[in-house]
Amino acid sequence: MPGLAHYLVLSALLFALGLFAVVTRRNAVTILMGIELMLNAANINLVAFNKFVAPGAMQGQIFALIVITLAACEAAVGLALVLAAYRTLETVYVDEINLMKW
């Protein structure tokens, strides 16, 4: 039966994959995908701790729900910023977005 350590290892691997996408991708949209993977990894940890360490409290699941809500906010604002940057600078590659003022 999978225990807490199994879930922690899985979420560590998922977090590392997300981090790899964030530091190596050039396209801002794929960087946001990496951030979503990292938030998912954190959520797996929260729910696993809720079940295996503090089963009496619901705080882990509550916190996971709040993280999901804030991830939706982050995706909406992040993608809006990508659209605004694309409209003025005509690129979505973050290494070409290097102007403080247009």
Partner 1 sequence: MSGEAIAFYLLAAVTLASAVVVVTTGNIVHAAAALVPSFLGVTGLYILLNAEFVAGIQVLIYAGAITVLILFAIMLTEGGTGLAGRQRNEQAAAGAAVAAAIAILLVAVAGRTTWTPEPGTLPSYTPGAIGQSFLRQNILVFEGTSIVLLVSLMGAIMIARREE
Residues between 13 and 72 with contacts to partner 1, criterion CB under 8 A: 13-21, 23-27, 29-30, 32-34, 36-37, 40, 43-44, 47-59, 61-62, 64-66, 68-72
* Measured distance CA(10)–CA(15) in Å, rounded: 9
The number of C-alpha atoms within 13 Å of 90 and in the hemisphere containing its C-beta is: 0
Identify which of residues 73 and 99 has a Cβ nearer to partner 1 in the complex: 73
The reply to whether 92 sits near partner 1 by the rule CB under 8 A is yes
Q: How many CB atoms lie within 10 A of CB 31?
A: 19
- Work out how close the CB of 77 gets to partner 1 at its nearest, in angstroms, rounded to a whole number: 5
* Measured distance CA(9)–CA(66) in Å, rounded: 23
- Work out how close the CB of 100 gets to partner 1 at its nearest, in angstroms, rounded to a whole number: 17
* Measured distance CA(59)–CA(66) in Å, rounded: 10
- Work out how close the CB of 4 gets to partner 1 at its nearest, in angstroms, rounded to a whole number: 6
